[in-house]
Protein backbone atom coordinates (compact mmCIF):
# COMPACT_ATOMS: atom_id res chain seq x y z
CA UNK A 1 0.00 0.00 0.00
CA UNK A 2 1.16 3.53 -0.77
CA UNK A 3 1.73 6.05 1.99
CA UNK A 4 1.36 9.83 1.77
CA UNK A 5 3.18 11.80 4.47
CA UNK A 6 2.37 15.45 5.17
CA UNK A 7 2.50 17.89 8.06
CA UNK A 8 -1.00 16.69 8.95
CA UNK A 9 0.05 13.05 9.36
CA UNK A 10 3.02 14.12 11.46
CA UNK A 11 1.00 16.57 13.58
CA UNK A 12 -1.81 14.13 14.34
CA UNK A 13 0.28 10.97 14.56
CA UNK A 14 -1.65 9.14 11.85
CA UNK A 15 -0.61 7.03 8.89
CA UNK A 16 -2.74 8.61 6.16
CA UNK A 17 -3.86 12.27 5.77
CA UNK A 18 -7.56 11.48 6.06
CA UNK A 19 -9.86 12.68 8.84
CA UNK A 20 -13.43 11.66 9.56
CA UNK A 21 -15.70 14.64 10.12
CA UNK A 22 -17.51 15.10 13.41
CA UNK A 23 -21.10 14.22 12.54
CA UNK A 24 -24.02 14.63 14.93
CA UNK A 25 -25.55 11.23 15.83
CA UNK A 26 -22.93 9.47 13.65
CA UNK A 27 -19.56 10.20 15.27
CA UNK A 28 -19.61 7.24 17.64
CA UNK A 29 -17.04 4.69 18.70
CA UNK A 30 -17.90 2.18 15.97
CA UNK A 31 -17.04 4.58 13.15
CA UNK A 32 -14.24 6.54 14.83
CA UNK A 33 -12.34 3.39 15.79
CA UNK A 34 -12.73 1.91 12.31
CA UNK A 35 -11.30 5.05 10.67
CA UNK A 36 -8.40 5.15 13.11
CA UNK A 37 -7.68 1.45 12.72
CA UNK A 38 -7.48 2.04 8.96
CA UNK A 39 -4.79 4.67 9.48
CA UNK A 40 -6.90 7.84 9.39
CA UNK A 41 -8.17 9.96 12.27
CA UNK A 42 -11.55 8.94 13.61
CA UNK A 43 -13.62 11.57 15.40
CA UNK A 44 -16.17 11.17 18.18
CA UNK A 45 -18.85 13.89 18.29
CA UNK A 46 -19.02 15.27 21.82
CA UNK A 47 -22.56 16.66 21.67
CA UNK A 48 -23.96 13.41 20.30
CA UNK A 49 -23.48 12.29 23.89
CA UNK A 50 -26.19 13.77 26.14
CA UNK A 51 -23.86 14.45 29.10
CA UNK A 52 -20.13 14.87 29.70
CA UNK A 53 -20.11 11.54 31.53
CA UNK A 54 -21.63 9.87 28.49
CA UNK A 55 -18.78 11.32 26.43
CA UNK A 56 -16.29 9.89 28.91
CA UNK A 57 -17.92 6.49 28.51
CA UNK A 58 -17.82 6.76 24.72
CA UNK A 59 -14.13 7.64 24.76
CA UNK A 60 -13.50 4.56 26.90
CA UNK A 61 -15.55 2.47 24.49
CA UNK A 62 -13.57 3.77 21.51
CA UNK A 63 -10.30 2.95 23.28
CA UNK A 64 -11.49 -0.63 23.63
CA UNK A 65 -11.83 -0.79 19.83
CA UNK A 66 -8.59 0.91 18.77
CA UNK A 67 -5.12 1.66 20.07
CA UNK A 68 -4.59 4.29 17.37
CA UNK A 69 -5.07 8.07 17.81
CA UNK A 70 -8.61 9.44 17.54
CA UNK A 71 -10.13 12.83 18.25
CA UNK A 72 -13.27 14.49 19.56
CA UNK A 73 -15.35 17.14 17.80
CA UNK A 74 -16.56 19.97 20.03
CA UNK A 75 -18.97 22.24 18.16
CA UNK A 76 -19.59 25.53 19.95
CA UNK A 77 -22.81 27.26 18.94
CA UNK A 78 -24.62 30.30 20.38
CA UNK A 79 -27.63 29.17 22.36
CA UNK A 80 -30.06 30.44 24.97
CA UNK A 81 -29.30 27.36 27.06
CA UNK A 82 -25.86 26.17 25.91
CA UNK A 83 -24.51 22.74 26.78
CA UNK A 84 -21.84 22.65 29.52
CA UNK A 85 -18.95 23.15 27.08
CA UNK A 86 -16.35 23.52 29.84
CA UNK A 87 -17.39 20.16 31.29
CA UNK A 88 -17.18 18.43 27.90
CA UNK A 89 -13.79 20.08 27.41
CA UNK A 90 -12.57 18.80 30.76
CA UNK A 91 -13.61 15.25 29.92
CA UNK A 92 -11.59 15.45 26.70
CA UNK A 93 -8.59 16.66 28.70
CA UNK A 94 -8.98 14.15 31.53
CA UNK A 95 -9.28 11.26 29.10
CA UNK A 96 -6.08 12.25 27.27
CA UNK A 97 -7.64 12.53 23.82
CA UNK A 98 -4.79 13.72 21.55
CA UNK A 99 -6.78 15.78 19.01
CA UNK A 100 -9.82 18.06 19.18
CA UNK A 101 -11.75 19.30 16.16
CA UNK A 102 -13.50 22.53 17.09
CA UNK A 103 -16.28 24.06 14.99
CA UNK A 104 -18.86 26.81 15.16
CA UNK A 105 -17.86 29.83 17.21
CA UNK A 106 -14.31 31.09 17.70
CA UNK A 107 -12.39 28.46 19.73
CA UNK A 108 -10.01 30.99 21.39
CA UNK A 109 -11.49 30.41 24.87
CA UNK A 110 -10.76 26.69 24.69
CA UNK A 111 -7.37 26.58 22.95
CA UNK A 112 -5.18 27.35 26.01
CA UNK A 113 -6.88 24.60 28.03
CA UNK A 114 -6.31 22.05 25.29
CA UNK A 115 -2.74 23.15 24.61
CA UNK A 116 -1.86 23.02 28.31
CA UNK A 117 -2.88 19.36 28.16
CA UNK A 118 -0.82 18.73 25.01
CA UNK A 119 -3.90 18.37 22.80
CA UNK A 120 -3.75 19.43 19.14
CA UNK A 121 -6.59 21.68 17.94
CA UNK A 122 -7.99 21.56 14.39
CA UNK A 123 -10.63 24.24 13.74
CA UNK A 124 -13.28 23.91 11.03
CA UNK A 125 -13.75 27.05 8.88
CA UNK A 126 -15.86 27.96 5.85
CA UNK A 127 -13.95 31.06 4.79
CA UNK A 128 -10.37 32.25 4.46
CA UNK A 129 -10.92 35.10 6.92
CA UNK A 130 -12.15 32.70 9.59
CA UNK A 131 -9.23 30.37 8.91
CA UNK A 132 -6.79 33.24 9.34
CA UNK A 133 -8.52 34.25 12.59
CA UNK A 134 -8.25 30.68 13.87
CA UNK A 135 -4.57 30.63 12.97
CA UNK A 136 -4.03 33.87 14.91
CA UNK A 137 -5.87 32.34 17.87
CA UNK A 138 -3.27 29.57 17.95
CA UNK A 139 -4.89 26.49 16.42
CA UNK A 140 -2.52 23.79 15.21
CA UNK A 141 -4.35 23.16 11.94
CA UNK A 142 -7.49 24.17 10.07
CA UNK A 143 -10.21 22.31 8.19
CA UNK A 144 -11.30 24.43 5.23
CA UNK A 145 -14.88 23.58 4.16
CA UNK A 146 -16.05 24.45 0.66
CA UNK A 147 -19.61 25.21 -0.43
CA UNK A 148 -20.03 21.58 -1.54
CA UNK A 149 -19.90 20.30 2.03
CA UNK A 150 -22.71 18.76 4.03
CA UNK A 151 -23.90 20.67 7.08
CA UNK A 152 -22.99 24.34 7.40
CA UNK A 153 -21.12 25.74 4.35
CA UNK A 154 -21.22 29.34 5.57
CA UNK A 155 -22.80 32.18 3.62
CA UNK A 156 -20.12 33.02 1.05
CA UNK A 157 -20.84 30.14 -1.36
CA UNK A 158 -17.18 29.64 -2.32
CA UNK A 159 -16.46 26.12 -3.66
CA UNK A 160 -13.29 24.25 -2.86
CA UNK A 161 -11.60 24.84 -6.21
CA UNK A 162 -11.28 28.52 -5.26
CA UNK A 163 -11.41 28.36 -1.46
CA UNK A 164 -8.52 25.93 -0.97
CA UNK A 165 -5.84 27.81 -2.94
CA UNK A 166 -7.09 31.08 -1.49
CA UNK A 167 -6.57 29.62 1.99
CA UNK A 168 -3.16 28.25 1.02
CA UNK A 169 -2.02 31.75 0.10
CA UNK A 170 -2.69 33.06 3.61
CA UNK A 171 -2.17 30.16 6.01
CA UNK A 172 1.08 28.95 7.47
CA UNK A 173 -0.46 26.18 9.61
CA UNK A 174 -1.34 23.01 7.73
CA UNK A 175 -4.93 22.53 6.63
CA UNK A 176 -7.20 19.77 5.43
CA UNK A 177 -9.81 20.14 2.70
CA UNK A 178 -13.42 19.32 3.41
CA UNK A 179 -16.48 19.18 1.17
CA UNK A 180 -16.93 17.24 -2.06
CA UNK A 181 -14.24 14.61 -1.38
CA UNK A 182 -14.92 10.89 -1.58
CA UNK A 183 -11.99 9.19 -3.29
CA UNK A 184 -8.34 9.36 -4.29
CA UNK A 185 -9.10 11.91 -7.00
CA UNK A 186 -10.37 14.31 -4.35
CA UNK A 187 -7.37 13.65 -2.11
CA UNK A 188 -4.91 14.28 -4.94
CA UNK A 189 -6.79 17.41 -6.06
CA UNK A 190 -6.94 18.80 -2.53
CA UNK A 191 -3.20 18.40 -2.13
CA UNK A 192 -2.58 20.03 -5.51
CA UNK A 193 -4.59 23.03 -4.29
CA UNK A 194 -2.54 23.42 -1.11
CA UNK A 195 -4.18 21.16 1.47
CA UNK A 196 -2.16 18.53 3.33
CA UNK A 197 -5.02 16.13 3.89
CA UNK A 198 -8.78 15.75 3.66
CA UNK A 199 -11.73 15.62 6.00
CA UNK A 200 -14.79 13.57 4.93
CA UNK A 201 -18.26 13.27 6.38
CA UNK A 202 -20.73 11.96 3.80
CA UNK A 203 -18.24 9.43 2.42
CA UNK A 204 -17.71 7.94 5.90
CA UNK A 205 -21.46 8.03 6.51
CA UNK A 206 -21.67 5.57 3.64
CA UNK A 207 -19.36 2.88 5.07
CA UNK A 208 -20.12 -0.46 6.69
CA UNK A 209 -19.12 0.75 10.16
CA UNK A 210 -21.17 3.96 10.19
CA UNK A 211 -23.80 3.46 12.94
CA UNK A 212 -26.79 4.39 10.78
CA UNK A 213 -29.55 2.41 9.09
CA UNK A 214 -28.70 0.64 5.83
CA UNK A 215 -31.45 2.61 4.04
CA UNK A 216 -29.46 5.82 4.54
CA UNK A 217 -26.33 4.33 3.00
CA UNK A 218 -28.19 2.85 0.05
CA UNK A 219 -29.92 6.19 -0.55
CA UNK A 220 -26.56 7.95 -0.76
CA UNK A 221 -25.34 5.43 -3.33
CA UNK A 222 -28.52 5.80 -5.38
CA UNK A 223 -28.70 9.61 -5.43
CA UNK A 224 -26.86 12.10 -7.59
CA UNK A 225 -25.12 15.38 -6.79
CA UNK A 226 -28.29 17.46 -7.30
CA UNK A 227 -30.33 15.84 -4.55
CA UNK A 228 -29.53 18.09 -1.61
CA UNK A 229 -31.29 21.17 -0.24
CA UNK A 230 -29.90 24.35 1.30
CA UNK A 231 -32.12 25.10 4.28
CA UNK A 232 -32.11 28.21 6.51
CA UNK A 233 -30.76 30.43 3.71
CA UNK A 234 -33.13 33.34 4.48
CA UNK A 235 -32.06 33.07 8.14
CA UNK A 236 -28.35 33.36 7.21
CA UNK A 237 -27.64 30.00 8.84
CA UNK A 238 -27.42 27.85 5.73
CA UNK A 239 -27.19 24.08 6.06
CA UNK A 240 -26.88 21.49 3.30
CA UNK A 241 -29.07 18.45 3.90
CA UNK A 242 -30.52 15.55 1.96
CA UNK A 243 -33.49 16.30 -0.25
CA UNK A 244 -36.63 14.75 1.22
CA UNK A 245 -40.20 15.71 2.02
CA UNK A 246 -39.18 17.63 5.14
CA UNK A 247 -36.29 19.65 3.66
CA UNK A 248 -38.40 20.61 0.64
CA UNK A 249 -41.17 21.82 2.96
CA UNK A 250 -38.70 23.80 5.09
CA UNK A 251 -37.21 25.55 2.06
CA UNK A 252 -40.66 26.35 0.67
CA UNK A 253 -41.94 27.83 3.95
CA UNK A 254 -38.86 29.95 4.54
CA UNK A 255 -38.94 31.25 0.97
CA UNK A 256 -42.52 32.35 1.62
CA UNK A 257 -41.52 34.35 4.69
CA UNK A 258 -41.77 31.88 7.54
CA UNK A 259 -39.58 32.40 10.60
CA UNK A 260 -37.64 29.78 12.54
CA UNK A 261 -40.46 29.28 15.03
CA UNK A 262 -42.71 28.26 12.13
CA UNK A 263 -40.44 25.39 11.09
CA UNK A 264 -38.87 24.49 14.45
CA UNK A 265 -40.82 21.24 14.75
CA UNK A 266 -39.77 20.12 11.26
CA UNK A 267 -36.05 20.52 11.93
CA UNK A 268 -35.81 19.11 15.45
CA UNK A 269 -32.62 17.12 15.89
CA UNK A 270 -34.46 14.15 17.36
CA UNK A 271 -36.26 13.71 14.04
CA UNK A 272 -32.94 13.57 12.20
CA UNK A 273 -31.72 10.97 14.65
CA UNK A 274 -34.83 8.93 13.85
CA UNK A 275 -33.79 8.84 10.17
CA UNK A 276 -30.46 7.27 11.09
CA UNK A 277 -31.99 4.83 13.56
CA UNK A 278 -35.10 3.66 11.67
CA UNK A 279 -34.16 4.19 8.03
CA UNK A 280 -37.26 6.32 7.39
CA UNK A 281 -35.68 8.83 5.02
CA UNK A 282 -38.54 11.32 5.41
CA UNK A 283 -38.70 11.26 9.21
CA UNK A 284 -36.68 14.45 9.53
CA UNK A 285 -33.75 16.53 8.34
CA UNK A 286 -30.52 14.61 7.78
CA UNK A 287 -27.20 15.91 6.60
CA UNK A 288 -25.66 14.89 3.29
CA UNK A 289 -23.29 16.53 0.82
CA UNK A 290 -23.25 16.96 -2.95
CA UNK A 291 -20.46 14.38 -3.03
CA UNK A 292 -23.11 11.64 -2.86
CA UNK A 293 -23.12 11.89 -6.66
CA UNK A 294 -19.73 10.16 -6.82
CA UNK A 295 -20.32 7.61 -4.05
CA UNK A 296 -21.15 4.26 -5.58
CA UNK A 297 -20.55 1.65 -2.88
CA UNK A 298 -20.57 0.92 0.85
CA UNK A 299 -17.04 -0.22 1.72
CA UNK A 300 -15.43 -0.79 5.08
CA UNK A 301 -13.32 2.10 6.32
CA UNK A 302 -10.21 0.00 5.72
CA UNK A 303 -11.20 -0.68 2.12
CA UNK A 304 -12.07 2.97 1.53
CA UNK A 305 -8.88 4.48 2.95
CA UNK A 306 -6.61 1.92 1.28
CA UNK A 307 -8.30 2.55 -2.05
CA UNK A 308 -8.15 6.33 -1.67
CA UNK A 309 -4.47 6.47 -0.80
CA UNK A 310 -3.45 4.08 -3.56
CA UNK A 311 -5.54 5.97 -6.12
CA UNK A 312 -4.17 9.35 -5.03
CA UNK A 313 -0.60 8.07 -5.15
CA UNK A 314 -1.13 6.71 -8.66
CA UNK A 315 -2.60 10.02 -9.83
CA UNK A 316 0.23 12.05 -8.29
CA UNK A 317 3.14 9.88 -9.39
CA UNK A 318 1.96 8.42 -12.68
CA UNK A 319 -1.09 9.92 -14.36
CA UNK A 320 -0.21 13.58 -13.86
CA UNK A 321 3.46 12.95 -14.52
CA UNK A 322 2.56 11.41 -17.88
CA UNK A 323 1.24 14.78 -19.06
CA UNK A 324 4.55 16.52 -18.51
CA UNK A 325 6.80 16.79 -21.53
CA UNK A 326 10.33 18.03 -21.01
CA UNK A 327 11.46 20.22 -23.85
CA UNK A 328 14.99 19.60 -25.20
Q: What is the DSSP string of 131-146?
A: HHHHHHHT-SEEEEE-
- Residue 234 has a pLDDT of 95
Q: Are residues 87 and 203 in the same domain?
A: yes
What value does the mean pLDDT take over residues 99-121? Answer: 97
- Residue 53 has a pLDDT of 98
49 falls within a domain: yes
pLDDT at 252 over 80: yes
Encode pLDDT of 301-327 as tens digits.
999 999 999 999 999 999 998 998 888
Q: Which of 20, 17, 16, 18 is nearest to 202 (CA)?
A: 20
pLDDT at 80 over 80: no
pLDDT at 100 over 80: yes
pLDDT at 205 over 90: yes
Which of 167, 183, 212 delimits the end of a domain? 212
Q: Are residues 29 and 157 in the same domain?
A: yes
Contact 291/180 with Cβ under 8 angstroms? yes
| Number of domains into which the chain is organized | 2
pLDDT confidence band for 225 (50 / 70 / 90): very high
Per cent of the chain over pLDDT 70 is 100
Q: Are residues 66 and 203 in the same domain?
A: yes
Q: Are residues 22 and 125 in the same domain?
A: yes
Q: Are residues 111 and 230 in the same domain?
A: no
CA distance 99 to 199: 14
Encode pLDDT of 3-40 as tens digits.
999 999 999 999 999 999 999 999 999 999 999 999 99
83 falls within a domain: yes
296 falls within a domain: no
pLDDT confidence band for 156 (50 / 70 / 90): very high
Residue ranges making up the domain that contains 244: 214-278
Contact 103/130 with Cβ under 8 angstroms? no
Q: Are residues 197 and 102 in the same domain?
A: yes
Encode pLDDT of 115-138 as tens digits.
999 999 999 999 999 999 999 999
- Residue 61 has a pLDDT of 98
326 falls within a domain: no
What value does the mean pLDDT take over residues 155-173? Answer: 98
- Residue 77 has a pLDDT of 86
Give, as one character, the DSSP assignment of residue 120: E
- Residue 240 has a pLDDT of 98
What value does the mean pLDDT take over residues 153-160? Answer: 96
286 falls within a domain: no
CA distance 313 to 1: 10
**How many C-beta atoms lie closer than 10 Å to residue 206's C-beta?**
25
pLDDT at 152 over 90: yes
Mean pLDDT of the chain: 97
The SS3 of residue 209 is coil
What value does the mean pLDDT take over residues 205-212? Answer: 98
Which of 178, 212, 246 delimits the end of a domain? 212
309 falls within a domain: no
pLDDT at 79 over 80: no
Q: Are residues 90 and 222 in the same domain?
A: no
Q: Are residues 219 and 205 in the same domain?
A: no
Q: Are residues 149 and 183 in the same domain?
A: yes
237 falls within a domain: yes
Do β-strands 141-145 and 198-200 pair in parallel, antiparallel, or remain unpaired?
unpaired
Q: Are residues 262 and 150 in the same domain?
A: no
List Cβ<8 Å contacts ≥24 apart for 45-51. Answer: 45/72, 45/73, 45/75, 46/22, 46/72, 46/73, 46/74, 46/75, 46/88, 46/92, 47/74, 47/75, 47/83, 47/88, 48/24
**How many C-beta atoms lie closer than 10 Å to residue 10's C-beta?**
12
Q: What is the CATH number of the domain that holds 41?
A: 3.20.20.70
- Residue 81 has a pLDDT of 82
CA distance 323 to 280: 47
Q: Are residues 196 and 113 in the same domain?
A: yes
Which of 182, 197, 212 delimits the end of a domain? 212
Contacts of 256 (CB under 8 A, 6+ apart): none
Contact 90/52 with Cβ under 8 angstroms? yes
Contact 38/304 with Cβ under 8 angstroms? yes
Contact 237/77 with Cβ under 8 angstroms? no
pTM for the model: 0.96
pLDDT at 194 over 90: yes
Per cent of the chain over pLDDT 90 is 95
Q: Are residues 59 and 197 in the same domain?
A: yes
328 falls within a domain: no
Amino acid sequence: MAQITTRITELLGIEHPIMQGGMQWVGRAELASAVSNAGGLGILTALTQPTPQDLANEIDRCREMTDKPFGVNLTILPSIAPPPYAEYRQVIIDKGVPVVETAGSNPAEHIPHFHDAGIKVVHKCTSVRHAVSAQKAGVDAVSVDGFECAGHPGEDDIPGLVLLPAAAEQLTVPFVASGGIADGRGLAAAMALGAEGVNMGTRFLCTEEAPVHRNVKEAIVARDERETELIFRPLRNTSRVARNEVSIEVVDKLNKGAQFEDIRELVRGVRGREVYETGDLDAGIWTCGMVQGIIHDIPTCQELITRMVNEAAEIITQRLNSFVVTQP
